[in-house]
Structure 1
């Protein structure tokens, strides 16, 4: 049954069937051939119960928050401020790319939005100052991946919904690893540009008065992050309520920057509807697949197979990590999550691993998928903003950052408290 299910899944993906349709077709196929009961009769009830959740309202709200920030002009001012603080390091503006992506990730919740926004602001500067196009574009693509690690993260909400894990705890668990990964990016970039100065650009010097003046431009983003995420950590608001507060704050920022217009609102709402529709369809389809897998005994068979295979918990974990890395070459991140989690999460939890820690590890692994060819979405986003040169330049430039993510993954596996310290500290 397991082999037949995997072969059906791969065949549908190779035929380029949309992910949501693939999940539903796979569920119905498993039901028809392997279930003694007609599980498809519960299709309507399962889909309704999957979509009738207060938590899921947070998804369109966080998407709208990101859409508003993309169009408000916040990113440009953030980039200028961080450039004055970071461009003295070996690599110059490369660090401003990473720093801006980190700040924008703390409010947008989307890697694609982060990459597109930072790319729009940074690429003209890099071209003007003669930076190496490969590492420069690679830093933007890699920095954009932080959008799904640093809270608030739409992918963490999806993980929490599928695995029935606390969203506030996931947000708390991902904060330190997300900031650590950003620091690893900065250190790695500085080392590369120290060894190969031609890959960086000119160091830029700024006076202390310019730097402190730039801090004012960081206050809006920091304030929004503290309000949204801080209200969740403090227990004052649920993720959905915090997302609504964030949208109100983004509207206020857009009004202060004088970019709040009817056309801007229409574009933001249209973008939100398209993204939310795609996400929700995939989520409810994965929920039905999860129901069929559990009811037909596939999940139980997989757990039994692993328990009787002679592999210990650590080797099983390594096998699952390898699976995510390989599938990440071919699957988009959200699709990768919803296809694998119904099968993988019960196995990992049964082996005694913490689901909060595993959620952070999964996010890190699908971050790698965002910048690994041939389907690395951030690579195409940055190239689309760039509109010149070759996609190969972005791919080559992102490779060092893939290795830095591997380093972060090793640290996360070796020291689980990197992710679990803050949730425990916050109770």
Structure 2
């Protein structure tokens, strides 16, 4: 059996394991280890297992993952995320569909703290769904807004998706964080526009909320001041060259903890819960990355990446068409696979093709993360949809999926705009980091 056939068989086995709900890290590790064993030797497989695991675990830049996750978890425990939603709610909640738009803005703000889509959807779902239900919002709009807004967590920096992409592609985390700012804000704006259009056509979807006085608006905005300050200091510090991403993560986590202590809203029990959840999430991410380091040597030995690269590179079409085909494959895979699994599985195959075609790796990273977001709300897997379902158990799953479809289309529009105008993603990293 040829190495290429063994490689394709290994990928097929990996898909089967993932469809059977075997944990991503375990599936990748098993296929990678057995693949190296078959194509090389038992000793080579054992050596890869030990050396690659140590190499990945010792990367200092990965420190940003637990620190940013801790920052988001502490913000959730101390109520900072709710105050951000309350501020947006006070300013635009009285508009038709305003509560759903406030939820999107709240998700964007929380995304700038947590870097996690699941955490954003879960936290904002607990905060906002009850309010929208109280004002008779259609369940499809309320749950769809939470599920879609949560996807901002892996695009608006700090983003766990960008960190993993940077490690796999050996690109700058700071440049990727910069590249995600304008696309993230663009997507947030498109989500709000989507809600406005929907509520203009079907007013019953999102009735207007209660009016608030200017004094109340000001009070709520002042209450959101601490979380806004943390976002400005951490993300602004990276953009201004004051902090590295690792230093910014440490400063942000420290500021959120200090703020919780000063406000007397961070008990030892709450800090313990935040730390415990951060450790669990970080361990999951690290296991996936270590497992990816096992699947990569197997794919290299099988020559599958070279085979795919030769095929795509040999197509007599413009590079943008090849890029479109790659993104289309991500959209299809996103209907069945979890986002990080797609990233670690496909990067060794697609990244050499992208670099050979002269497509900017930073631009490709933004587009990939954006398409991964679409997978988070695509049936049948749709992780964020199931997260929202856990928060709103009485809402049928079909209603939630129906509610996210307008936002899915908005994400498709955002992707097309970035492909058509790459400077949306590239202007900040090219002008602020030389």
TM-score, normalised by the number of residues in structure 2: 0.94
> Of 310, 333, 338, which residue of structure 2 is paired with 1:332?
338
Matched, 1:47 2:50: no
Task: Give the alignment's Cα RMSD to 1 decimal.
Answer: 1.8
Higher mean displacement: 11-20 or 364-373: 11-20
Question: Aligned to 2:242, what secondary structure does the other structure show?
Answer: coil
Map 1:83-232 to 2 at 5 A.
83-232=89-238
- SS at 2:95 equivalent: coil
Post-superposition CA distance 1:53-79 (Å, at most 9, x none): 101111111111111111111122222
How far is the alpha carbon of 1:42 from its aligned partner? 2.9
Q: Deviations over 1:17-43 (max 9, x none)?
A: 221121122223432444589641332
In 2: Cα distance, 1:232 partner to 1:323 partner: 33
2:17 is equivalent to residue 12 of structure 1: yes
Closer/same/farther in 2, CA of residues 151 and 224 from structure 1, 3 Å limit = same
Q: Which moved more, 1:82-91 or 1:37-46?
A: 37-46
How many residues get paired?
Answer: 427
> What is the rounded CA distance, in whole Å, between the counterparts of 2:326 and 2:425 in structure 1?
19
Structure 2 distance, partners of 1:196, 1:136, is 14
2:320 aligned with 1:314: yes
Q: CA deviation at 1:300?
A: 2.2
Q: Distance in 2 between matches of 1:36 and 1:384?
A: 45
Q: 2:291: which partner in 1? A: 285
Deviations 1:239-290 (A, max 9, x none): 1121111111110222244221111111111111111111101101102222
Answer with 238-247 or 255-264: which moved more: 255-264
Gaps in structure 2 of 5+ consecutive residues: none
Q: How far has the Cα of 1:414 moved from its partner?
A: 0.7
1:369 corresponds to 2:375: yes
**Which of 404, 409, 416 is the aligned partner of 2:410?**
404
Deviation of residue 121 (structure 1)?
Answer: 1.1
Quick one: distance in 2 between partners of 1:136 and 1:421?
34
- Structure 1 residue 95: deviation in Å? 0.9
Indicate whether 1:58 and 2:64 are aligned: yes
Asked if structure 2 preserves the Cα contact closer than 8 Å seen for 1:92 and 1:204, the reply is no
| Preserved contact between residue 173 and residue 421 of structure 1 (Cα < 8 Å) | yes
TM-score by length of 1: 0.95
CA contact (8 A) 1:109 1:148 kept: yes
Mapped partners of 2:240, 2:44: distance in 1: 42
Question: Structure 1 unaligned runs (5+)?
Answer: none
Is 1:249 the counterpart of 2:255 in the alignment? yes
Alpha-carbon distance in structure 2 between the residues aligned to 1:288 and 1:327: 21
Conservation of the 8 A alpha-carbon contact between 2:71 and 2:114: yes
Partner residue of 1:239 out of 233, 241, 245: 245
Q: What secondary structure is seen at the aligned counterpart in 1 of 2:153? A: helix
Contact 2:136 2:206 in 1 (8 A): no
Whole-angstrom distance in 2 between the partners of 1:383 and 1:15: 21
